[in-house]
Amino acid sequence: MPAETPVCQLLERQDADYRGWLWVSPPRDAWLEGGQGSVLSADHGVLQSWRERSRPAFSPFDAQTVGEPPGAVLFWPKAHALGEWWLLWLCANLPEGTRLQLVGENQGGIKRVLKVLAALGLGCRKRDSARRCTLFETRLGRVDIDPEAAWTRFEAEGLTLISHPGVFGHGKLDDGTRLLLGALERHLPGPERAGDVLDMGCGDGVLAAWLARRGHRITAVDINGFAVEATRRTLAANGLEGEVLAGDVYSSLEARRFAAIISNPPFHQERSIDYGPAGRLIREAPAHLLPGGGLLLVANAFLPYPDLLERAFGGFEVLADDRRFRVYRAPVAGSR
């Protein structure tokens, strides 16, 4: 199977023997998934795809060890702070001297890797470039920075939130979530009518913690392992309880139903706009709602969610609109 993505096409033409290597935070690509080595990723979708092929797949938050691979390839992310975290994790968890290649798109900032490696005291050489991508190579060494230092705390809405560079809205409460919280305050039943609520795309856990503080029984889901870990830490930091799961939209929930589904769904995949997850969130929501329940979500005002809501629910209402963001509520049929 030929490589599909530009970064993998660049790797495909290398003369390196990648058998047994560790692929770190890679994109979805059939060439990788059908090839050699193992994967280390915080993306639940990537991990599931590899495991379905009976390929070794690890999360950085698993207790499992990745062993001592002959080398590793780090796919440099758009968020440079996240790339730095992956570097620190690899330095802390793989043997000193392990070969490391770093690959990424030029527009994604891969060339900044040179300064990042120099700051960590790691040498580097350019190995190849093609398809508007560049491949660098170095060897891992001991670095006196703990990857745990990337986790930060901040206060919002009377809550302590735990954040990481790999989580949406790292280190701050975004304006869309703030508008959604205001609408929830006005329109979601209070503690006297608390129920089972699903926070879909939980991020740093602000919605889950806010809802749990009001007495709701919380299930929080995110495809991003960093978000799952952040939400667990946020709930613990506030003395709150909730179930936090890794999953691709509803994949980890089977036939469970909730009194409400709350979401600030993502629509970006790296630099591209992707409505897929949000589309599934809306289309499949009625099957996961109890009678009288509803979906409440916030989205950029320009996104075409009204059409999706109309088709899935037969109607909806706008609870808040500040011209940048809108909060929608779509009740299941018969509960209007």
Tell the residue number behind the tokens 């799961």, with chain if given.
245
d(CA 145, CA 85): 10
Q: Is the pLDDT of residue 129 over 70?
A: yes
pLDDT for res 1:
80
Q: In the prediction, which pLDDT does 178 show?
A: 97
pLDDT attached to residue 334: 59
- Distance CA(320)–CA(329), nearest Å, equals 10
Token representation of residue 222? 């995110």
Largest distance between two CA atoms of the chain: 65
Q: Which residue is it, tokens 């660098």?
A: 136
Tokens representing 255?
A: 């036939």
Q: How far is CA 231 from CA 50, 199, 202, 219, 294, in A?
A: 25, 11, 7, 11, 23
Q: What does the pLDDT look like over 49-103, one tens digit per residue?
A: 999 999 999 999 987 789 999 999 999 999 999 999 999 999 999 999 999 999 9
**Domains 6-147 and 151-331 alike in fold:** yes
For residue range 320-333, what is the model confidence (pLDDT) as tens digits?
999 999 999 999 97
Phi, psi for 27 (deg, rounded to 5): -80, 170
**Mean of the pLDDT values across residues 218-231?**
97
**What is the CATH number assigned to the segment(s) 6-147?**
3.40.50.150
Position 275 confidence tier, pLDDT thresholds 50, 70, 90: low
pLDDT value of position 124: 93
| Cα 134 from chain centroid (whole Å) | 25
pLDDT at 192: 63
- Say how many residues make up the chain: 336
Q: How far apart are CA 103 and CA 7, in angstroms?
A: 7
Q: Are strands 258-263 and 196-200 parallel, antiparallel or unpaired?
A: parallel
Residue 86: Cβ-neighbour burial (10 angstroms; 0-12, 13-18, 19+): buried
In three-state secondary structure terms, 72 is strand
Check pLDDT > 70 for residue 272: no
Confidence of residue 271 (pLDDT cuts 50, 70, 90): very low
2-46 pLDDT, tens digit per residue, is 999 999 999 999 998 999 999 999 999 999 998 889 999 999 999
In DSSP terms, 129 is beta-bridged to: 134
Residue 269 has pLDDT above 50, yes or no: no
Name which of 281, 328, 323 is nearest 180 in CA terms. Answer: 328
**125 residue type, one letter:** R
Structure tokens that stand for 176 in this block: 């869309």
> For all residues of the chain together, what is the average pLDDT?
93
The answer on pLDDT for 268 being more than 90 is no
Spans of all domains in the chain:
6-147, 151-331
For residue 332, the SS3 value is coil
Q: Taking 70 as the threshold, does the pLDDT of residue 274 lie above it?
A: no
Task: For 153-216, give the secondary structure using H, E and C.
Answer: EEEECCEEEEECCCCCCCCCCCHHHHHHHHHHHHHCCCHHHCCEEEEECCCCCHHHHHHHHCCC
The string of DSSP letters for 69-93 reads -SEEEEE--SSHHHHHHHHHHHHHH
- What would be the CATH architecture of the domain defined by 151-331? 3-Layer(aba) Sandwich (3.40)
pLDDT one-digit tens code per residue, 189-215:
777 677 899 999 999 999 999 999 999
The pLDDT score that the predictor gives to residue 267 is 63
